[in-house]
Structures are given as C-alpha cells and as structure tokens.
C-alpha cells in the first residue's frame, strides 16, 4: 500500500474547503480541518494536504487494518485466521442506509457524536463506503475512508465518530469478543478506565499486529 499520494484532482469548492475527487485514493486516510460539523459526508482535508499511512495509524494510535476479499467473506481463510487469533467469536451484519434503518438521521447523528467505547470497535466493510474519524495525539482529526474490503480495528478508549459519505450506503460486518456491547461514552471521558488505559498504551505500545498495517 502506497504511503504517498498526489493531488491530481484536488479542488476548492465555493466555500473554500479542500476536497478531492472520489476514486483516486487507495489508502484512504488524511488529516482533516477541524470545522466538519456542517460537512459530515464531505472529503474534507487540511491545506496544505497531508496523507496519513496505515503504518502511522498503527504505530502512533494503535489502529489496525487489513484488506480482505469482501465477495467471499463467508469462506475467507484470512478473515477466519484474524477472528481466531483475536477472539472475535461474535459476528453480525449491518446495512446502513435510509431504506433499511429506522430513525436513520437520528442514528447517524449519534454515530457522528465524538465518543469512546470500553472495548475495541471492529468493522469490516463489505459494500458501500463511509468515514471513521479518529483523534491523533495532538487531538486533530484523521479521516479514514473505508470501502469494500477494508477491515479496521479501533482500540478501546480512542476518541472517534462515524458517518456515511455521499453514497449514503454501507454494509458492515461487526465483530466482537463475547457478547457485544455497543455503549458509546461521549466526550469528555478522560477518567474512563478505557481512556486512561489507551492513553497510557500510546507510550508503552510494543510489538506488531497480525500481518496488519
């Protein structure tokens, strides 16, 4: 996976926000400007533009990533290996779009509220696309554009949020260790045990992931 990117099709819209045309990215991570509340589904970037690599995301923040085959997820040996190694015994599928989710707008609003979880958040994109935003060590946003084949693991205690992009559809596999608990703890949560453990781990993290970036 390339660690560099080119701004071949970047442009500024009428509001002055940097955007880039869909289809030119593969690694799908970049630094964001802070003012994103009015543009949750937009491809918003910092100016000057900066790519973030998956290796940086893992080394600096503990986020794991694999690229798998979403068309054969039921028989995928690599996915099976990951689940067994990390203890992900629970699995379900979620179609997120206006036609299939009751109170769709309210749910998206909740997903887009900055929060943490007491456990890892594991999402495997099977169809469609969307954005996970995560905070870096400097409390700046990094936007992760997930598409079909992307499996990411957000560590417990990391500040994050989720929204769809302009496609307005994503099909996700949700994985969990044991019985699932989806409880969000909205920011601020500096004294939450998962948050304090995560912050401490950033300075102490050693080792490498299971063939992940």
Domains of the chain: 62-201 (2.60.120.10)
Query: Are 192 and 183 contacting, i.e. CB atoms less than 8 angstroms apart?
Result: no
Residue range 91-140, pLDDT digits in tens: 999 999 999 999 999 999 999 999 999 999 999 999 999 999 999 988 98
Q: Measured at the alpha carbon of residue 170, what is the angle toward residues 17 and 45, in degrees to the nearest 5? A: 15
pLDDT at residue 84 tops 90: yes
Question: What is the C-alpha to C-alpha distance for residues 81 and 154, in angstroms, rounded to an integer?
Answer: 19
Q: Determine if residue 27 is labeled as part of a ligand binding site.
A: no
Q: Determine if residue 160 is labeled as part of a ligand binding site.
A: yes
* pLDDT at residue 92, rounded to an integer: 98
Query: Are 151 and 85 contacting, i.e. CB atoms less than 8 angstroms apart?
Result: no
pLDDT at residue 24 tops 50: no
* pLDDT at residue 107, rounded to an integer: 93
Residue range 125-182, pLDDT digits in tens: 999 999 999 999 889 888 898 999 999 999 999 999 999 998 999 999 999 999 999 9
Query: Are 129 and 147 contacting, i.e. CB atoms less than 8 angstroms apart?
Result: yes
Q: Determine if residue 115 is labeled as part of a ligand binding site.
A: yes
More confident residue, 33 or 28: 28
Question: What's the pTM?
Answer: 0.81
Q: Where are the beta strands (DSSP E) in 78-176?
A: 90-96, 115-116, 121-135, 141-147, 150-154, 160-164, 170-176
């Amino acid at each position: 996976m390339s660690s560099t990117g080119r701004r071949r099709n970047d442009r500024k819209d009428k509001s002055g926000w940097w955007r880039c045309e869909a289809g030119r990215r593969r690694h799908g991570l970049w630094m964001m400007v802070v003012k994103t509340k009015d543009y949750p589904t937009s491809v918003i970037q910092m100016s000057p533009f900066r790519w973030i690599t998956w290796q940086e995301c893992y080394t600096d923040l503990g986020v794991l990533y694999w690229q798998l085959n979403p068309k054969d997820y039921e028989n995928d040996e690599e996915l099976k290996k990951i689940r067994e190694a990390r203890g992900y015994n629970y699995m379900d599928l979620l179609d997120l779009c206006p036609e299939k989710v009751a109170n769709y707008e309210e749910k998206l609003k909740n997903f887009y509220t900055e929060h943490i979880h007491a456990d890892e958040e594991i999402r495997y994109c099977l169809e469609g696309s969307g954005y996970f935003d995560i905070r870096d060590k400097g409390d700046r946003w990094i936007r992760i554009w997930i598409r079909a084949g992307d499996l990411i693991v957000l560590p417990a205690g990391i500040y994050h949020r989720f929204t769809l992009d302009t496609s307005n559809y994503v099909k996700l596999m949700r994985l969990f260790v044991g019985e699932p608990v989806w409880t969000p703890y909205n920011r601020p949560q500096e004294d939450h045990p998962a948050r304090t453990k995560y912050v401490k781990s950033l300075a102490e993290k050693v080792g490498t992931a299971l063939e992940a970036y």
